[in-house]
Structures are given as C-alpha cells and as structure tokens.
C-alpha cells in the first residue's frame, strides 16, 4: 500500500448509524460471494436522509463510489453491530473513514474485516470539508491535508497492519499466528 492517498471526500455529520450505512434489507447479501459483495457496495449509504444529503454516495447505475474517503462527525457507525457496514463501504470503494469519533463496534468491525482504515480526527473535519473536496491522507504521518492545511489524525498504531493485511484472519495467517489457508 502507498503511504499516501489522494481522493475526493464524502462528508456526513454525527450519529451516522449502521442502518444508514447499509439498511437491514440488504443484510441477506453474503460478502463472501463476489457478486453479492459488489451489490453490498452499490447499496452503501443508501439509508441517508435525502434532504440532509442531496449528493448521492453511489451514482445511480454504478456499484462504486467516486468518494474514496469518508469524513464524519461523532459516533460514526452507531446502532447495530453489523459487519456488513464497513464491508459495504469497502465494497463501494472507500479506503478510509476519518471521523471525529466511532461507535466502538464499527471501529472493531472495520479492523476485523480489513475493509476501511478507521482514522479518528483531532479536529471536527465534517464542519471544515464539503463533499467533493480533494484531500491527501498520509498514513506514515497520520495527517489529512486539504487546500494546504494539514490536520492531525490519531495514529492507527497496531491497527494499520491488520487493515493492510485484509483483516484479522489474513493478518493472523500473514504473521504465522494461524496456519495459512490451503
């Protein structure tokens, strides 16, 4: 993985719950089936209220988003403890979520599945950035840069190699904690 990622952002506010990230009706899709994994991505963020978020996260007729980084406020991923939430974001093409704070279960599921890097911002970036802005995430320095301003992010620490490996089981195989899959 490159140490930097330059991408457009999709910005949401506080208390974005797992029903907004991936509504319950799509939980019958199996992430282990490639076609269904792709479909999960096409439904990511479909539960957002249209009045509050007029820009579509997924352009109708496509299965992936043009927004590789999501920026959020406090308590991102609250609600049900569904692994489908970070999986849907990853399937949609999101590489990182930068939130002011996470629901603990969403953070853990992001790491366990290896789908998205769950960065925590020091500043309230959802009030600074707007959907479509271009940012650069620097994984080595734990920063996000927008229009020349550098914002500190809380370091990922031991979480980074787990997400880079593709999740907890891939990491365990990679490091010899469990036997490699045959």
45-80 pLDDT, tens digit each: 999 998 999 999 999 888 899 999 999 999 999 998
Domain with residue 21: its CATH number is 3.20.19.10
Reported as a pLDDT band with limits 50, 70 and 90, residue 182 is low
Q: Give, for 150, the enclosing helix (H) or strand (E).
A: strand 149-154
Residue 128 inside a domain? The answer is yes
Residue 60 inside a domain? The answer is yes
Q: What six digits make up the tokens of 154?
A: 């809380």
* Each residue's pLDDT tens digit, 117-150: 999 999 999 999 999 999 999 999 999 999 999 9
Residue 180 inside a domain? The answer is no
Reported as a pLDDT band with limits 50, 70 and 90, residue 1 is low
Q: What is the CA radius of gyration of the chain?
A: 16
Q: How many domains does the chain have?
A: 1
Residue 182 inside a domain? The answer is no
Query: Regarding predicted confidence, which is higher, 97 or 174?
Result: 97
Q: Is the pLDDT of residue 181 over 80?
A: no
Q: What is the mean pLDDT of the chain?
A: 94
Residue 58 inside a domain? The answer is yes
* Residues spanned by the domain of 99: 4-174
Q: Give, for 113, the enclosing helix (H) or strand (E).
A: helix 104-113
The residue written with tokens 């998205």 in the block is: 116
């Amino acid at each position: 993985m490159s140490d930097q990622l330059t991408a457009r952002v999709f910005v949401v506010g506080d208390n974005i719950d797992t029903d907004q990230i991936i509504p319950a009706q799509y939980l019958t899709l199996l992430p282990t089936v490639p076609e269904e994994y792709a479909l999960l991505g096409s439904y990511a963020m479909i539960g957002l209220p249209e009045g509050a978020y007029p820009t579509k996260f997924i352009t109708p007729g496509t299965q992936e988003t043009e927004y590789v980084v999501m920026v959020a406020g406090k308590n991102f991923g609250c609600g049900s403890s569904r692994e489908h939430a970070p999986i849907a974001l990853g399937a949609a093409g999101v590489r990182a979520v930068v939130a002011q704070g996470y629901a603990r279960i969403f953070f853990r599921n992001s790491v366990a599945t290896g789908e998205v890097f769950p960065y925590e911002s020091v500043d309230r970036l959802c009030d600074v950035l707007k959907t479509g802005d271009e940012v650069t995430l620097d994984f080595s320095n734990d920063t996000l840069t927008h229009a020349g301003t550098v914002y500190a992010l809380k370091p990922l620490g031991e979480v980074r190699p787990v997400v880079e490996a593709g999740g907890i089981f891939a990491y365990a195989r990679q490091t010899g904690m469990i036997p490699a899959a045959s």
